[in-house]
Amino acid sequence: MEQETSQSRDVPYSPSFILDLATDVDERIRNVIDFAFLSGFNNPTVAVLCQFQQTWTGRLKEYKDTVGLFIFSLDLVTHNYPVITAVEGLPYDCFSITPCSTAFGGVIVLASNAIIYVDQSSRRVVLPANGWPPRVSDLPMPSLTSQEQLRDLQLEGSRSVFVDDTTLLVVLKDGTVYPVELVLDGRLVSRLSMSAALARTTIPAVVRRVQDDFLFIGSIVGPSVLMKTAHVEEDIIIEDDATVSAPAAVVDSVNDMDVDEEDEDLYEKSTITEKPSTNGVTNGFTANANKRTVVHLSLCDSLLAYGSISDMAFALARNGDRAVPELVAATGSGELEGLPTPVKVNGSTYERPANPFHSENDSVIISTDANPSPGLSRIATRNPQADITITTRIPGTTIGAAPFFQGTAILHVMINVTNVIRVLEPDGTERQIIKDIDGSSPRPRIRSCSICDPFVLIIREDDSIGLFIGEIERGKIRRKDMSPMGEKTSRYLTGCFYTDTSGVFQTLVNDQAPGIENMTSTLQGAMNAGNKSQWLILVRPQGVVEIWTLPKLTLAFSTNLIAALEPDPPRKPSELDIEQVVIAPLGESSPRPHLIVFLRSGQLAIYEALMTSPPVEPLPSTRSSTLLVKFVKVLSRAFDIQHSEEMYSGAFFTGDRPCWILCTDKGGVKVLPSGHSVVHAFTASSLWESKSDFLLYSDEGPSLMEWMPEIHLDDHLPARLVPRSRAYSNVVYDASTSLIVAASSLQSKFASYDEDGNLIWEPDAPNISYPHCECSTLELVSPDGWITMDGFEFAANEFVNCIDSVTLETMSTETGTKDFIAVGTTLNRGEDLAVKGAVYIFEIVEVVADQSTNVKRWYRLKLQCRDEAKGPVSALCGMDGYLVSSMGQKIFVRAFDLDERLVGVAFLDVGVYVTSVRAVKNLLVIGDAVKSVWFVAFQEDPYKLVILGKDPYYSCITKADLFFADGRLSIVSCDEDGIMRLYDYDPHDPESKNGQPPPSD
């Protein structure tokens, strides 16, 4: 005890302990469903929802109302846990607890069919959500008005939260928000009343009240939403007496719902951020006859997410005139968010076809290349007739060029025998030339340069630097005095300028410094005084990074920590050299400066610059991300690009593994490969009208790129969301027609029939509904424009398990084979009958396009064959011109005869429930839900399936596939718990009985 209290003084929380609910609190607490802490008590108080006697829907005759609620307090000193309230006899389908406000105490219990308020004196107030509660429970039900009797809501998967003392918001599994009011009678809750739907948001996984008037609805299958709740008192407009007298009546639900859905459409990107209050929903509940408090919900922000991926397939996309692979994933769930998400695998989709020039100028920029005519620089301009001409050709290799003197001239650094720094007129004629010579002897060649109006930094191959400054009054440049930087022999590896517009870079004025030199103030500085400051970043060979102020050239910051970037593997000192350093603003809405350091060892580090407290100079540290990449030649540029509404700014790294460095508001700094194998030069260019173009010279020659619209960069792969009205369970790409076949997953009402075709049961009241079951449709989707060209509807009790594009034998083509779409389904027949299945073979046929649709080629799905099976067809694949499909616990190999029927040629009894089949050549890998992985060979002539090996241990495999590298073969499997296993086929292992196929069990 003494020890515990002394411990509790050290740490701000009590020591952990384990509370065995059944032995320490109450023996009836078993099978806990949910628990919550209640506020307003002296001791911590817990409410536990549990089911002592378990039951299910089929046993309600024996056991019902099995759920109990226990409220007990935790006395941490005496370890005594007295039960304050024990309520039993709650419906068997209760699933969550929400504590109510301390004003009247109690908890709200959500059940699948009812909302129940339980107060501390065990009084239960029930609000039925549909007609089921009186049938499944003995709880006393309130009498319902005729309108309430029409209500038919399914509360499974719903979440609830209090927005004020008496208003509970229930978010249903489809995202619809219903307000429920606790009607008080004194300090007691007399009844609950539910109003019409308020709004529709995302599918909830968690709903929390943040601060007082914000609501966060987190989702695991879609975007998460932050909403603002506002309480507005409004005069009530009396439309209907009944509505007023019955405040919880369901008012005009249909119309409002439609409006809400449109207002809160989460995929309208523009509305998410820009409508803070206009889409408030004014459907509240009446508090009294004249005034009512209305809860306004408005969308504040959302975190974009695509939820779980149910299937994905590689598809072909066009990028300019080059075909690139694209990954199409079916994500999301429910009615709200079915969206194939094409993810750019290579990220190489930002380009546009090349132009024949490799040096151009859109008023300011020159670039050049040593290839194909080495040592020649060209200046290209766009003339008023909008064609591009090369106006000037200069012998010499350009190191760098930039606009100068506020864009009125061009500064050009090049090597033509000696180092030359030139100022050019906009048309390319020479205004001034400075030869970089020391006396009469030429200096070493310039390795790199950095130009930032009005400064020029050159770094020569002997690591010495030169600094020039432009005088705008004369329009010329001159050497800048570098005496403040120490003796001339200073060596620097690299350096760059940085123009800070964010205000992060601020120095503390040191009063001891010598007097202000007027002569060094520049026009640039004068023009942008206050919000813009220029800095020079230099790196010494020892790895010391220094930041110098401009134009005064005083040392503002210095660190040697960057050289110790990764101390782990010992490296040669030269490898720790910093190859290049750049400070660039990265970000989406408010770019912040980031220090990007590239080491000779191939490491790239990005530091975000943050402001620190005054005594210290800006410290670039906090956020860093490193990755191991290799570059040979590096040249980096900061760029600003226009991206529909938002502005991205980032950096591009050229070299062997070129990549974009970008930062988004919600995703942090990302390094995305550009998809080229090598990029020699890169620049932003507005020569071709559009504002956000980039010009780059890669191994494929020069190309002009533009930013793809609607690309989300928040995740590790750049993705584009294609909103669809339904969720898809499977996607497959048909390579021969470049179309996507997707199976959408829907809910349909399930009715079972007896042998004579009569309905066995049908709903007998308006608020009683049929059970739901899964059903599917097949859609033929064109990847350009994402239009659905054709569809196929399965039976209402049939859903798709698997789709594959399989190559089967046919007589209709020259090669004798053709790609067909094979679909395996499950036919659900209720609880009493075993499920069946079917295999469908579809052919994608081209038909004459409708002239009005403006689409050149039109396709349809043609059902060639339907083959019913005795068990569910849970997996299928193509193998060597045959179709391999599962039927329950059997595997069939079937041939497609005369384009009209499937003829079995081989079968094999495997496990219990086949979850996946995959084939490479004649080797087949079968994954089973119980019997793990089987490895099977298929022989034609005579037909035979031979078990080569199988996993002796049981595990529930969800997917198994072949995996090969270096001519060796292994089998990779993934099980229910997310464990991946790699198997080798090793017949020489002594335990494998000399490679003999194991006996089938």
Partner 1 sequence: MANPLAGPSPLRDIIRPQFHQNNFAEELFIKNELGIKLDKDDQICRLSLTATGCPLGPLHCPLRHTTPSTQNFQPPKQLPVHPRERERLATVCKHWLRGLCKKGDACEFLHEYNLRRMPECWWYAKYGYCSAGDECLYAHPKERRIECPDYNRGFCKLGPTCPRKHVRRVACQLYLTGFCPMGPDCSRGHPKPDLPPPKAYEPPSPPSVRDLGPPRRDMVGLGGSGGPPGPRRNLEDVVCFKCGEKGHYANHCRHHNHKPYKR
Single out the residue of 238, 289, 316, 787 in contact with partner 1 (rule: CB under 8 A). 316
Assess 252 for contact with partner 1 (CB under 8 A): no
Q: Does the footprint of partner 1 cover residue 677 (CB under 8 A)? A: no
Question: What single-letter DSSP state applies at residue 770?
Answer: P
Whole-number Å distance between alpha carbons of 527 and 601: 41
**The only residue of 901, 956, 958, 959 in contact with partner 1, by rule CB under 8 A:** 901
Structure token digits, residue 263: 């207002």
Smallest separation (angstroms) from partner 1 to the CB of 889: 11
Residue selected from 199, 923, 924, 925 as contacting partner 1 according to rule CB under 8 A: 923
Is residue 610 near partner 1 by the rule CB under 8 A?
no
Interface with partner 1 (CB under 8 A), residue from 220, 940, 956, 981: 940
Find tokens 């500064």 and name the residue: 411
Judge contact between 307 and 222, C-beta under 8 A: yes
In the bound state with partner 1, the residue whose beta carbon lies nearer, of 226 and 972, is 972
Q: Which residues contact 61 (CB under 8 A, 6 or more apart)?
A: none
Q: Is 774 left (phi over 0), alpha (psi -120 to 50) or beta?
A: beta
Of the candidates 167, 153, 58, 59, the residue with the CA atom closest to the CA atom of residue 113: 153
- State how beta strands 968-975 and 772-782 pair: unpaired
Considering the rule CB under 8 A, would residue 323 count as an interface residue with partner 1? yes
Stretch that binds partner 1, among 23-31, 159-167, 533-541, 903-911 (CB under 8 A): 903-911
Shortest distance (Å) from residue 787 CB to partner 1: 20
Q: Which range binds partner 1 by CB under 8 A, 312-320, 495-503, 758-766, 848-856?
A: 312-320
- Per the CB < 8 A criterion, the answer to whether 97 and 69 are in contact is yes
Only one of the segments 180-188, 500-508, 544-552, 906-914 lies at the binding site for partner 1 (rule: CB under 8 A); that segment is: 906-914
Tell me the CB-side half-sphere exposure of residue 60, using CA atoms within 13 A: 14
Q: Does 1000 bind partner 1 (CB under 8 A)?
A: yes
Regarding 700 and contact with partner 1 (CB under 8 A), the answer is: no
Q: In angstroms, rounded to a whole number, what is the distance separating the alpha carbons of residues 270 and 189? A: 42
Residue 947, strand partner residues = 936
Nearer CB in complex with partner 1: 627/898: 898
CB under 8 A: which stretch of 47-55, 458-466, 698-706, 897-905 binds partner 1? 897-905
- Binding mask of the shown chain, residues 724 to 753, with x at each position contacting partner 1 by CB under 8 A: ---------x-x------------------
**63 or 964: CB nearest partner 1:** 964
CA atoms within 13 A on the CB side of 397: 16
Residue 968 makes contact with partner 1 by CB under 8 A: yes
By CB under 8 A, which span of 560-568, 580-588, 811-819, 952-960 interacts with partner 1? 811-819
Residues in contact with partner 1, counted by CB under 8 A, come to a total of 51
Closest CA to 363 of 416, 398, 401: 401
Our finding on whether 903 is near partner 1 (CB under 8 A) is yes
54 or 813: whose CB is closer to partner 1? 813
- Strands 659-664, 646-653: pairing is antiparallel
Task: Please identify which residue in 464, 520, 788, 922 interacts with partner 1, judged by CB under 8 A.
Answer: 922
Contact 71, 81 (CB under 8 A): no
| Binding track, positions 345-364, relative to partner 1; x by CB under 8 A | x-------------------
Q: Does 123 engage in binding with partner 1 (CB under 8 A)?
A: no
Binder to partner 1 among 75, 909, 976, 989 (CB under 8 A)?
909
Burial pattern 190-218, b for ≥16 Cβ within 10 A else e, equals: eebbbbbbbbbbbbbeebeeeeeeebbbb
- d(CA 782, CA 858) in angstroms, rounded, equals 9
Instruction: Find out whether 129 and 151 touch, Cβ atoms under 8 Å.
Output: yes
Q: Which of 472, 796, 969, 972 binds partner 1 (CB under 8 A)?
A: 969
Question: Any idea of the CA torsion for 121, 127, 133, 134, to the nearest 10 degrees?
Answer: 80
The answer to whether 834 contacts partner 1 (rule: CB under 8 A) is: no
Query: Using CB under 8 A, which of 184, 472, 641, 937 touches partner 1?
Result: 937
Stretch of residues binding partner 1 (CB under 8 A), selected from 67-75, 502-510, 512-520, 932-940: 932-940
Beta-carbon contacts of 210 under 8 Å, excluding residues fewer than 6 positions away, are 216, 226
List, in order, residues 6 or more apart from 844 with CB less than 8 Å away.
734, 736, 737, 739, 741, 780, 819, 821, 859, 860, 861, 862
CB closer to partner 1 out of 192 and 924: 924
Smallest distance from the beta carbon of 715 to partner 1, in angstroms? 20
Cβ 822 to partner 1, closest distance in Å? 15
For residue 274, the surrounding DSSP H or E stretch is helix 269-274
Beta bridge partners of 328: 313, 342
User: Residue holding tokens 């969301």?
Assistant: 721
Dihedral sign for Cα atoms in the order 117, 120, 121, 122: positive
Site for partner 1 in 867-886 (CB under 8 A): 870
Question: Considering the rule CB under 8 A, would residue 291 count as an interface residue with partner 1?
Answer: no
793 binds partner 1 (CB under 8 A): no
Site for partner 1 contains 907 (CB under 8 A): yes
Asked if residue 942 binds partner 1 (CB under 8 A), the reply is: yes
The single residue among 814, 831, 850, 991 that binds partner 1, judged by CB under 8 A, is 814
Among residues 314, 753, 770, 954, the one that binds partner 1 under rule CB under 8 A: 314
How far is Cα 886 from Cα 873, in angstroms, rounded to an integer? 5
Which residue stretch of 377-385, 390-398, 659-667, 921-929 sits at the interface with partner 1 (rule: CB under 8 A)?
Answer: 921-929
Residues whose CB is less than 8 angstroms from the CB of residue 885 and which lie 6 or more positions away in sequence, other chains included: 822, 824, 839, 869, 873, 875, 876, 891, 892, 894, 917
Residue span binding partner 1 (CB under 8 A) among the ranges 236-244, 420-428, 780-788, 985-993: 985-993
Among 474, 633, 857, 921, contact with partner 1 (rule: CB under 8 A):
921
CA distances from 185 to 104, 192, 337 (A): 11, 11, 42
Q: Per CB under 8 A, does 444 bind partner 1?
A: no
From 209-217, 498-506, 566-574, 806-814, give the range in contact with partner 1 by CB under 8 A. Answer: 806-814
Q: Give the whole-angstrom CA distance, residue 100 versus residue 402.
A: 65
Angle at 430 between CA 380 and CA 403, to 5 degrees: 60
Among 76, 86, 150, 905, binds partner 1 (CB under 8 A): 905
Judged by DSSP in three states, 396 sits in coil
- Total number of residues shown for the chain: 1001
Side chain identity, residue 472? I
Which span sits near partner 1 by CB under 8 A: 398-406, 718-726, 829-837, 943-951? 943-951
Rounded alpha-carbon distances, angstroms, from residue 760 to 751, 755, 798, 832: 8, 10, 19, 12
Q: Which one, 335 or 880, has the nearer CB to partner 1?
A: 880
Nearer to partner 1, 259 or 905 (CB): 905
914 contacts partner 1 (rule: CB under 8 A) = no
Of 51-59, 689-697, 850-858, 894-902, the segment contacting partner 1 by CB under 8 A is 894-902
Q: Is the dihedral of CA 372, 376, 377, 379 positive or negative?
A: negative
Residue from 944, 952, 976, 989 touching partner 1 (CB under 8 A): that is: 944
Q: How many other CB atoms are there within 10 angstroms of residue 814's CB atom?
A: 5
Rank residues 384 and 942 by Cβ distance to partner 1 and give the closer one.
942
| Helix, strand, or coil (residue 120) | coil
> Binding partner 1 by CB under 8 A: which of 257, 920, 972, 974?
920
Which residues contact partner 1 (rule: CB under 8 A)? 314-316, 323-325, 345, 733, 735, 810-814, 870, 895, 897-901, 903-907, 909, 920-923, 937-944, 946, 948, 964, 967-969, 985, 987-988, 995, 997, 1000
